[in-house]
Amino acid sequence: MNKLFVPFITAGYPSLDITKEIIREFNDMQIPYVELGVPYSDPLADGPTIQRASDIALANGANLDTIFDMISSIAEPLSSKLIIFSYYNPLYVYGFKKFCEKCKKLGIYGVLIPDLPKEEEHEVISLINDYDLVLIPLVTPTSASRLQLILEGKDRGFIYCVSSLGVTGERQSFHSNLEKFIDKVKSISDLPVVVGFGVSSREQAEDICNFADGVIVGSKIINIITNAFEKFIDQKTPAFIAKEVRKNVENICPYVYNK
């Protein structure tokens, strides 16, 4: 059975033109979901790799308006479902209603807000539902007491399960009770449970897919993008760099996307 492979990329890193071409390559790979991170100056859940990518994207002028413009410039229809990964503050400043309207217009599938305040949950979730967007729930090994509440009514997308406490970044090991926690989540919801934070190799992905429904890979892909950009920046186009990224990403896909 195929498992989900969900790549995360920072929008605008190292440029919006390259981000656009990477999305097109992932779409050509028939990857079901692509997480598109909105760069933010204070990304509390992100490790140094994604923080650096955010800093560079911000310095290059990436923001929600330019990201939406980039998405709208993709000529071909996307079968990959785009999920906007954003901290609360950029969405608050932009305006949640305006954000949801834009997502709906562009055919964006969903949104993931890792630091959504509890006191804002009801209003934000209602607005997201009004525009027929999908809020991807993020659960951690310490959120067991709230699982029922967090997952209530969720019937589309997947569940993002955090592998370890702390921030994003490549890891050698994960939370000791991860498999048990995944089983608990599966007992509450029929949605696919996908594990992220630290997955950086094919071997890790295959091990996790023995008990989970897929993996999310972020920091490793950002490093792949960095290497391709630095290697070919002087002589190759964004499309060429994106194809180089694709080749390296395919090496860590554990039989997880439909061909």
From first CA to last CA, the distance across the chain in angstroms is 13
CA distance 58 to 12: 8
Distance CA 181, CA 139 (A): 10
d(CA 174, CA 172): 7
Catalytic residue among 21, 28, 42, 46: 46
Written in H, E and C, the secondary structure of the chain is CCCEEEEEEECCCCCHHHHHHHHHHHHHCCCCEEEEECCCCCCCCCCHHHHHHHHHHHHCCCCHHHHHHHHHCCCCCCCCEEEEECCHHHHHHHCHHHHHHHHHHHCCCEEECCCCCHHHHHHHHHHHHHCCCEECCEECCCCHHHHHHHHCCCCCCCEEEECCCCCCCCCCCCCCCHHHHHHHHHHHCCCCEEEECCCCCHHHHHHHCCCCCEEEECHHHHHHHHHHHHHHCCCCCHHHHHHHHHHHHHCCCCCCCCC
Report the amino acid identity of residue 47. G
Q: Does 46 qualify as catalytic in the annotation?
A: yes
Neighbours of 84 (CB within 10 A): 27
In the set 25, 35, 170, 244, the catalytic residue is 35
Annotated active-site residue 35? The verdict is yes
Q: Indicate which residues carry an active-site annotation.
A: 35, 46
